[in-house]
Amino acid sequence: MSPNVPAISPPAAARIRVLVVDDSAVVRNMLCRELAKDPAIEVVGTAPDPYLARDKIVELNPDVLTLDVEMPRMDGLTFLRRLMEHHPMPVIVISSLTAQGTRTAVEALEAGAVDVLGKPGSAYSVESLSVDLIQKVKLAFRAHLATWAPLPVRPAAVRPSTSLANTTDKVLAIGASTGGVQALTRVLTELPADAPGTVIVQHMPARFTRSFAERLDSLCRVRVKEARDGESVVTGQVLIAPGGFHMLLRRSGARYYVQIKDGPEVFHQKPSVEVLFQSTAQVAGRNAIGAILTGMGGDGAKGLLLMRQAGARTVAQDEATSVVFGMPQEAIKCGAAQHVVGLPDMARTLLDLARQLDRDVTPAALVATR
Q: What are phi and psi of 282, to 5 degrees?
A: -70, -40
For the chain, give every residue range classified as CATH 3.40.50.2300.
12-143
Calculate the dihedral angle through the C-alpha atoms of 98, 99, 100, 101, rounding to the nearest 10 degrees.
50
The pLDDT tens digits of the residues spanning 104-120 come to: 888 889 889 999 888 76
CB 84 within 8 A of CB 112: yes
- Please check the confidence at residue 76 and state whether its pLDDT lies above 90: no
**Could you give the 3-state DSSP secondary structure of residue 18?**
strand
Per-residue pLDDT, 52: 94
Q: Is 105 left (phi over 0), alpha (psi -120 to 50) or beta?
A: alpha
- Please check the confidence at residue 370 and state whether its pLDDT lies above 70: no
The arithmetic mean of pLDDT across residues 279-296, rounded, is 96
> Is the entire prediction scored with pTM above 0.95?
no
- Active site residue ranges: 177, 203, 299
Number of CB atoms found within 10 A of residue 242's CB: 21
**Residues facing 202 on adjacent strands:** 176
pLDDT: which is higher, 148 or 102 = 102
Instruction: Say which CATH topology domain 171-355 has.
Output: Rossmann fold (3.40.50)
The arithmetic mean of pLDDT across residues 60-74, rounded, is 90
Per-residue pLDDT, 125: 60
Question: 12-143, which class in CATH?
Answer: alpha beta
CB 64 within 8 A of CB 140: yes
Computed over every residue of the chain, the mean pLDDT equals 87
CB 202 within 8 A of CB 177: yes
For the chain, give every residue range classified as CATH 3.40.50.180.
171-355
